[in-house]
Every structure is written in C-alpha cells, then in structure tokens.
Amino acid sequence: MSGLLGGVSRIASFWRSQSNMAGMFDNSTVIQVQQANDIVDVISEHISLKKKGREMVGMCPFHDDHRPSLNVSSVKQIFKCFACGAGGDVFKFLQMRENLTFPQAIERLAERAGIKLKRTKPEKGQTQKPSEDIDPNKLAKVNVWAAKYFQQNLHDEKKGKQTRDYIAQRQITPESIKKWQLGLAINSPDDLLRAAKAKNIPVKLLGQAGLITAQHQDKFVNRLMFTITDVTGRVIGFGGRTLDETGAKYINSPTTPLFDKSNSLYGLEQARHQIVSAGTAVVVEGYTDCIMAHQFGCTNIVATLGTSFTAGHGRVLRRYAKKVVLLFDSDIAGIEAANRALDICLSQRIDIRLASLPEGKDPCDFLLAAGKERFEQLVSDAVDVFQFKWNRLTASFGSNDTLAGKRLAIEEYLQTIATALWAGNVSPIDRGLIVNQVSKIIGLDGKQINAELSKRLRQAQRAATYNAKNQKAWTIDYGRGLFATAQREVMEVLLNEPKLFEIVKQKITPDLFDVPILRQIAAILFETLNTNIDASLAEILAKTESVELGSSLVELTQAGEEKGNFRARLTGALNAIERYQAQKQTSLIETIEDQRQFLRKVYENTGKENPHNVGMV
C-alpha cells in the first residue's frame, strides 16, 4: 500500500510546477531529451515496425495507410511518410500522434527517459501566462492519480470488501485485478473530488479529465472501475460498471483530448505483442470478456468500449494485425452489428472474419463454461466475408423475403465482391465462380451480373482515387517560378551539405526569401549553422516547433539527397537569386524614374505648384 501512496504524492507535486510555454527549455536540454529517446523505440511503442534495408517501415498513423508507408531512419533519427508527406523527428512524431505542443512533447519524452527538465527563466518584462489549452500530459497525470486512488479503495480492508467479493464471484483472479488496474469508486457523491482537493489538484483539471461533472460531483459513483490505457500504457480514461444497478450498467469517461472511444480499444496495450506475433486480433465487446480471455491465456483479445466497431478501430488494428476476428452474438442485433463492421473493414482492406457465439452467451460465460480450447476453436472457425454475405444472400432467397428484400441482398453481396475485387482480395478465377453461383441462385444471366460488378468496381476505384487525393495531409506550398525554385534549391543543398553555408552566407540572408515556408526554414538554418556548421537534421528539427516545418525539413532533405550534385546546384541557384535581385533593382529604379517623369509632367502642366504637393491638387 505504501508504494501506491508514494506514487500518489509524487504525482501531486507535478501540476504545481508546470506551465505551458514555448521556448522554456534551452536548446541543449532539448537535444539531450531528443538523443535519450531513440526514434525507433518511441515509434515502436505506437506502431509495429519492420526492418527494410537500412530503415524501418510501418503503417503510417497519420493517414489512411494501406501499405507500410512510414519510414523511420535510426541513423538520421527521423521519420517520413511517402504517402501523406508527414515527417520529422521524435518530437514531431509525438506532437502529431498525441496532439501535443512542442514543449509538451519535450516534457513527455523527458519523463520517458527519466531526465529532469531545467526551465529557462523568462526574460525581463516577460510574464508567464498559463495557457488556456488543455494539456494532454496533465490529463494523463491526473488519470494516473485517479487510477491509483480507485485501486486503493478496492484494496481497502473495509471499503473494498463487497466489491472484491463481487469480483471473486465473477471469477476474476487477483492477478487480473492487478494486471488490469481494477478499482473502486465508492458510494459517495464527491469522494474523489475531496481526495483531489486534499492533494492540491486543481478542480478544473478534474473537470477537463472528465472525472467530475459540471456540477462538481464525482462522475463515477459506486462503480467497479476499469482503467483504460492507450497502446503505450498511458491512462487515457475509465469505464465504470454499476455496483447497485442504478443508472447505466456501464459508463465511460467523456471524450477528452486523450480519450475518444471510437478510436480506442480496451486491452490494446496488453494484447499488442501477441496480436503482432499471431497476426490476428480478436475483438469482443465488454471489459470483463476481454479480461477473462486474457486470464484464460488468449492474449490477442481487445474490446470496444460500449460502441460498435468503427472505422477508427479498424485503422488502429490494421497497424498490428493482418486479420481481425470479430466475436459477435448470434441474435439479430449481433448479426447486423457484425455486418456493419464487416463493411467498414472491407473498405479499409482489412481481412476480417466473423465468429458467432451461441445465442445468449457472452465470451466471458462461454469461456467459463466451455474452456479455452473450445473458445480458440470458435475463433479459428470464423467465416470470411464472402461466406458470411453468401449466407445472408442464400438465407434471403430461401425464405419468403419480399422482392425488394431479395434485391437488397443481391446488391449488398455484389457490393462486397466489388469492394473485395478492388482491394485485391478476389482473384479472377474466384470472380468467375462467384458470378456462376449468384447466377444460379437468382436466375440472372452471368453477363448481366458481370456488367453490374464492373460498374460497382469502377465506383469503388473512383471513391478510392478521391480519398487518395484528400489524403495528402502535408501539401506544402513552395511557391512558383525560377526565384522560388532557387530558394528551395539552396535549402535542399544546405540540409545535405551544411558546410556549403560558408559560401551561402556571403551572398544571401534569410530575409531575401519570399516563399513563407522557405523563409522560416532559412531563418532556422542560418541561425543553427552560424553557431554549428556540423548540425545534423535532428538537431535542426529540435529547433523547430511546428509540425508543418518539420515535415517540410524532412521533405527538402530527401528531395535534395536524391538530386545530389550539391556544389553545382548551389552555384546555379545563387546565380539565379543574384540575377533576380539585380532585375528587381533595375525595375525598382525604372519605377522611380517613371514616377519622377510623371511628377515633372504634372508640375509642368499645373504651372508653379510644388511637385511634392501634387496629391493635394
């Protein structure tokens, strides 16, 4: 128990010292934090990476990725997505992935590496204003505190007795209680709130984390508490099951900057490694189903959080699993939910299978009654999409379904086949067989079915191109024309051959750049290279706050690397810039000359008026 309390008081001091200001860490500290967090390790905590040549590749979390597009270089300590263009260093990855500001990403990684951060003092005249934005790091901290508090309640001799009995009766073991950080919100309207106040935790923060209501009462009262973590183990929210059958059976934390239930899966942290090594993820619907499955040694199981399977869940699982098995209830609602999930997965090119439980049983009951082997059999007997849809089609034609109902069943089936064809899940031979089967059942000519399939396939392709066009998240405007190209060339060269800065700085300055993004990059590069001519890309990125600039820096570096020929390209670019400047100068002089002539004429025409007052005439 003392360990838990120790943790709580350590955390309690956290929010007293935090503020949310950019530039509050000096550059050497930032570099130290960056170097202590290997980018491959950090990104691996979020997605699974495989070695490919000298780099690591994985599914990009920043766009709807269908093949591993995210490349991570351990040598350069950068990442880059070749599909959507996202790129940067370890800070940029976390900024984008966890929606953090630059200083928040520094804090998060400093903590990960066990580095104590030194803050630079604000300059004279500068006051530190706390930011109005919600800080996800602080939310995670307050959640950890609450999770520990709930656990203390459960383990309290008196307070937790009844709930511990209930858990034991549900056959959840003490090991599982610990592994899943189960806890108890006692039957009091403001127990957590009072405990938080005693620890000087701001009430506002509790509200932002969804732990208290707008009326300043505890959100979770008399409930068995399930701690929800993200894939890295961060506490992002809670689920609570009622202990006195009042209110909803289950409630969850509301949506916060940390928690969104349509993108979160319970147990992903615990199941992740087994999912990757088995290549399969099994999805159930309840907390206890998930816990029980793990307790039985089926550890590739995750649960949705009181929602049906969403596209967001599909995107998350695709990063770890080749195949997703959905375990569903065989009642009508269960079948409809499975059908919807299937359509979502198919359009995301996920291999999804469906396994149905005996009617009226949830996975937890089934495991306890039938055991691990039969549960695993159920999962491996899962049917694929075509079988499932085929069963629906034949069921519709075997029954006295209406004509409209039958047409709907055919259309649904053909749509599935078309999407699967587009996704490359169906071979031409299979297509022939399917067309034959459908033709027999519905008594329609094979040619007609084929034509209908082709039409739907074209639609699927059009939809895909449209989506691909809208996926380019980091389309950066580098300007047009020779002058803009020359500016870009100089940056591309300097990022690959920083030593050439000696030549560059004699000829140009950053304020010469007129393409906004290149001007910002030039400012950072000039500043960095002026003090450290050997600066690596990672060091330059450590000075960059915005994720857009980060992506742009990586893009320019790689474009430059591919083109090579640095010295010649630099000479060409600098000449172009010089010519442009000279031209601009000439045209400026010409303009001034024109104005003088104009004024002279006006003066001549109006007689004795002073030319400088001509505007007043």
Question: Where do contacts with Zn ion occur on this chain (CB under 5 A)?
Answer: 60, 62-63, 81, 83-84
Cα separation, 34 vs 539, in Å, equals 9
Q: Which among 511, 515, 525, 519 has a CA at the least distance from the CA of 482?
A: 515
Other beta carbons less than 10 A from residue 394's beta carbon: 14
Using the minimum distance from each CB to Zn ion, give the nearer residue, 63 or 318: 63
What is the nearest approach in angstroms of Zn ion to the Cβ of residue 64?
Answer: 9
Cα 306 from chain centroid (whole Å): 21
Beta carbon of residue 25, minimum distance to Zn ion (angstroms, whole number): 28
The span from the CA of 534 to the CA of 494, in Å, is 11
Closest CB to Zn ion among residues 300, 551: 551
* Nearest approach, Cβ of residue 366 and Zn ion (Å): 39
Q: From the CB of 41, what's the least distance to Zn ion, in Å? A: 20
Q: Smaller CB distance to Zn ion: residue 299 or 557? A: 557
Instruction: Give whichever of 79 and 91 is closer to Zn ion, judged by the CB atom.
Output: 79
Beta carbon of residue 474, minimum distance to Zn ion (angstroms, whole number): 9
Residue 77 CB, nearest approach to Zn ion (Å): 18
The secondary structure element, H or E, covering residue 51 is strand 50-52
Token pair 């940029």 is found at 92
Return the number of the residue (23 or 312) whose C-beta is nearest Zn ion. 312
Are residues 217 and 170 in contact, defined by beta-carbon separation less than 8 angstroms? no
Count other Cβ atoms within 10 Å, centred on residue 249.
Answer: 11
Q: With respect to Zn ion, which residue has the nearer C-beta, 61 or 498?
A: 61
Kindly tell me which of 84 and 201 has the beta carbon lying closer to Zn ion: 84
Q: Residue 477: which H helix or E strand, with range?
A: none
| CB of residue 59 to Zn ion, shortest distance in Å | 9
Cβ closest to Zn ion, residue 81 vs residue 441: 81
Burial zone of 488 (CB within 10 Å; 0-12 exposed, 13-18 middle, 19+ buried): buried
Least distance between Zn ion and beta carbon 473 (Å):
7
Cβ 166 vs Cβ 18: under 8 Å: no
What distance in Å separates the CA atoms of residue 58 and residue 44, rounded to the nearest whole number? 9
Q: Which helix (H) or strand (E) holds 80?
A: strand 78-81
Q: Quote the tokens at residue 207.
A: 């509200």
Looking at the Cβ atoms of 231 and 449, the one nearer to Zn ion is 231
DSSP for 53-79 reads TTEEEE--TTTT-SS--EEEETTTTEE
Min separation Cβ 70 and Zn ion, Å: 6
Comparison of 64 and 289: residue with beta carbon closer to Zn ion: 64
CB contact at 8 A, 139 and 257: yes
Q: How far is the CB of 66 from Zn ion (least distance, A)?
A: 11
Q: How far apart are CA 109 and CA 96, in angstroms?
A: 14
Whose CA is closest to 62, among 76, 40, 46, 38?
Answer: 46
> How far is residue 50's CA from residue 52's CA, in Å, rounded to a whole number?
6
